Amino acid sequence: MERLCSSISLVIPCYNEADNLDALLARCVATLNTLGMVWEIVLVDDGSRDNTALQLAHWSVREPRVRALLLSRNFGKEAALSAGLDAARGQAVVLMDADLQHEPELVPTMLQRWKHGIDVVYARRRDRSDEPWFKRTFTRLFYRMLNATHPRVTIPADAGDFRLLDRHVVDALKSLPEHNRFMKGMYAWVGFRSEELPYTPKARASGQSHYNLHSLVSLSLSGMTAFTTWPLRASSVLGVNLALLAFGYGGYLVLDYWLFGAEVSGWTTIVVSTMLFSGVQLLSLGVLGEYIARIYEEVKGRPLYIVHRHLGEGLPQGGGIT
Ligand code: UDP
Ligand code: MG
């Protein structure tokens, strides 16, 4: 069944992207104008410290189909994406980055697939040879661990946030109440007919990536705690195995004492085993702590983001379908 042309929203989170906005928006507007459908661009300024907000204000005056939400501070990309998804009114919604790594010219291809009934068209990087080896290894390991225990939900590696979502998918994502928003997992969790579109990301147009090792580790911890519980199980399994080992070794020492008498040695054994056991205990407490921290975040029930100002008009309520 072919979907009828209707409306499309581009959702773009921006954090300190002032130097990229002109080129980005010019290319987006040019591409969207070729589609022959009504459109809007929803930009979310995630508390930028540069001129991003000012640029967005100019753009929203010049082109009323460009809308901007200015968040009250930096909430992080996942929250900015949620803000954009909440605000978008199109029947199809495309998420993309502001740094031109995701080419707007790919949108018509995504839209073609959507028109043929696909609900999620996600861009999948052809290769990661542009990334440093530690990031590649870390990513591969992370996805393997993330998908280790989820037979029904597979989170594809190499697929990021550059994707087209049908209105039903957007509504499903909006209905997920969690505050710990690991979007890549949530896309997979909601399901729907998905198809990949191979692409080669371009180099960042201007500025630097906002993700360093620390933020990548923190994002992966969110992903692990949001989508798996096996680290909890693993710490109990580790505990049981070590206890059995300790029990066996204890028995051996007692027998040794009875049969051969006391011998004052074993300093190394004491030090090594104390360090091992306290290490394992701290590790397990850490794993537990990560989950408790997420529970605490959820229980507080704070909003995911706070919008400070709305600029521009975009599509009318209801998606602009006449
Ligand atoms: N971004 C954001 N809030 C943040 C960090 C990043 O909205 O706290 C946006 C950023 O402006 C860009 C996108 O998320 O549009 C991807 O960020 P970046 O290019 O730094 O990430 P990378 O491409 O290195 O994964
Ligand atoms: Mg980027």
Cα separation of 253 and 266, whole Å?
A: 10
**Is 25:55 a contact under the CB 8 Å cutoff?**
no
Q: Where are the beta strands (DSSP E) in 158-292?
A: 159-166, 194-199
Best of 10, 15, 43 for a ligand 1 pocket test (most atoms within 8 Å of beta carbon): 15
CA of 212 to the centre of ligand 2 (A): 12
Ligand nearest to the CA of 82: 1
Other residues' Cβ atoms within 10 Å of the Cβ of residue 295: 11
* Atom nearest to 75 CA in ligand 1: 8
* Atom nearest to 99 CA in ligand 1: 15
Find the radius of gyration of the CA atoms of the chain.
Answer: 25
Q: Is the CB of 46 under 6 A from ligand 1?
A: yes
147 secondary structure, DSSP code: T
Give the per-residue pLDDT at 163: 94
Please classify residue 61 by burial: count the beta carbons closer than 10 Å to its beta carbon, then call 0-12 exposed, 13-18 middle and 19+ buried: exposed
Nearest CA to ligand 1 atom 6: 77
Instruction: Give the pair of three-digit tokens for residue 148.
Output: 């280790």
Give the contacts of 263 (CB within 8 A, at least 6 positions apart).
none
Class of the domain covering 7-212+303-311: alpha beta
pLDDT tens, N- to C-terminus, the chain (322 residues):
677 768 999 999 999 999 999 999 999 999 999 988 899 999 999 999 989 999 999 999 998 899 999 999 999 999 999 999 999 999 999 999 999 889 999 999 999 999 998 999 999 988 777 778 887 888 888 888 888 877 788 888 888 899 999 999 999 999 998 888 888 889 988 989 999 999 888 877 787 888 777 887 888 888 888 888 888 888 889 888 988 888 898 888 888 888 888 777 777 888 888 888 888 888 889 889 989 998 998 999 899 999 998 887 878 877 655 4
Q: Is the CB of 211 under 6 A from ligand 1?
A: yes
Give the per-residue pLDDT at 267: 78
CA of 19 to the centre of ligand 1 (A): 14
**Is 224:231 a contact under the CB 8 Å cutoff?**
yes
Please classify residue 120 by burial: count the beta carbons closer than 10 Å to its beta carbon, then call 0-12 exposed, 13-18 middle and 19+ buried: buried
Q: Is the CB of 109 under 6 A from ligand 1?
A: no
Q: Is the CB of 45 under 6 A from ligand 1?
A: no
Residue type (1 letter), 256 = D
For the chain, the domains span 7-212+303-311, 227-300
Give the per-residue pLDDT at 322: 45
For helices 167-174 and 77-87, give the axis angle rounded to 10 degrees: 120
Q: Is the CB of 247 under 6 A from ligand 1?
A: no
